[in-house]
Amino acid sequence: SAFNNSCRTTKTIALNFSKTLFKPALVRSIHQQLGTRLVKIIRGKSNAFSSRKHLHMNVLLYVLMEEDFTLFLNFIRSHQDVTHDWVKNYVIHFCKECEFLNWHNICLEKKHIVEQFKSKIANSMTAVKAAQPIPATVDDLFRSLKEFLAEDIVFQHLELLKIFDLYPLVDAQSLDKLLAMVVAQLGVVICKVQPNCGDTCDIENTLQDLRVRPHRQLLWMLRGCGQQCPLCGAPCDRGGGNHREHAATIHYPQGLMGRRHHDGTFMCDVCTTSMARKKNGRMGEHTFCNADTGKMPVKFNNLRDLYKDWNIPPDPDLENPLFWKLVLHHFNDKLAQHYGVGKAEIPAEWGCITTQCVKDDLCE
């Protein structure tokens, strides 16, 4: 009877170890590591996430291809929100459609994490058995395992083990017996947690459950300083916040920030074009004014005196980017109506620009 009670107690402890200790730790390991692995795969396969500049170019292309004026306005008002949604949808589509990264391969990634987990647990048990003195109680065993696994696996505080914390491990044989049962129960847990690669899966829910969500990690890795051009609102596309000088690869038409010509028409000029102009046919000397200038006109070539941390080089060609030529031609009527200004005077040749031309230009 005492022997049977001992066996039942040992089995119960092993069951609690596996269900209360190892199962949550394994699930956390999968959720933590899988997201990081997916990010590495996506960045390796997609040029869109090679830099903040490339990310911005891809979001611009998305806005262009949708031909949706509401989306366009949302992008101008809050490019961060549109970028967030684009990256999130990109990751979902990538995981569903990419030949290299589909549900089957996600399962294989999970299995790899599980195998690493099993190996680390086995190594920790071997180390515990070899240590001297051997653990005297279940509590000592837990502390030893936790110590050996400290760099690899995180265990949460576990109330359920307290009822067994003083259960004695009288000798090496009782320790071996308990660990053998723990391994057996761990195998049961792994069978329940490990995915079946033949099953179908909701990719979106799988990504949502991950501790490191790929779209958030990608956005964090390519985060910018948050600064925007004071004249047109274009975001600084220099990565991170450790730069002294802000710059944007593509500036926006200044009309999107409310600027208009003296005759009340929408202003198409981007900042780099304005920086190159010495004179303006409508306004005489080429100037700007805003709240920062006290509504007083300031020459564009003196802009750096006011905004010392923004580098806006003049474009000697005096040409707007193809992207904006196509957008302004497509949305001229709607922009005028939205901003309450006259329609922009747009050259007829802008209507000949194709989406493919813009795509090629942005990808250069």
Digit-coded pLDDT (tens) for 130-144: 888 888 877 787 788
Most confident of 72-86, 235-249, 257-271: 72-86
Q: Are 227 and 307 in contact (CB under 8 A)?
A: no
pLDDT at position 195: 62
Lowest mean pLDDT among 33-42, 202-211, 299-308, 347-356: 202-211
pLDDT at position 303: 87
Q: Are 248 and 272 in contact (CB under 8 A)?
A: no
Give percent of the chain above pLDDT 70: 87
Lowest mean pLDDT among 9-18, 36-45, 205-214: 9-18
pLDDT at position 2: 38
CB-CB neighbours of 113 under 10 Å: 19
CA distance 179 to 141: 10
pLDDT at position 70: 96
| 355 vs 142 pLDDT, higher one | 355
- Assigned token pair, 33: 């590591």
What type of residue sits at position 341? Answer: V
CA distance 262 to 283: 7
Question: Which of 163, 161, 128 lies closest to 145, judged by CA?
Answer: 128
Average pLDDT of the residues in 252-263: 87
Say which residues have a Cβ less than 8 Å from residue 259's Cβ, sequence separation at least 6: 231, 267, 288
The model's pTM is 0.77
Residue 321 has pLDDT above 50, yes or no: yes
Burial class (CB in 10 A: 0-12, 13-18, 19+), 211: middle
| 170 vs 217 pLDDT, higher one | 217
pLDDT at position 215: 93
CA distance 250 to 338: 23
pLDDT at position 299: 86
Q: Which helix (H) or strand (E) is 126 found in, with range?
A: helix 103-130
Average pLDDT of the residues in 226-253: 88
Q: Which helix (H) or strand (E) is 299 found in, with range?
A: strand 298-299
Half-sphere exposure of 227 (CA within 13 A, CB side): 21
How sure is the predictor about 1, in pLDDT bands with cuts at 50, 70 and 90?
Answer: very low
How sure is the predictor about 53, in pLDDT bands with cuts at 50, 70 and 90?
Answer: confident
| 199 vs 335 pLDDT, higher one | 335
How sure is the predictor about 229, in pLDDT bands with cuts at 50, 70 and 90?
Answer: very high
| 356 vs 102 pLDDT, higher one | 356
How sure is the predictor about 100, in pLDDT bands with cuts at 50, 70 and 90?
Answer: low
Average pLDDT score over the chain: 82
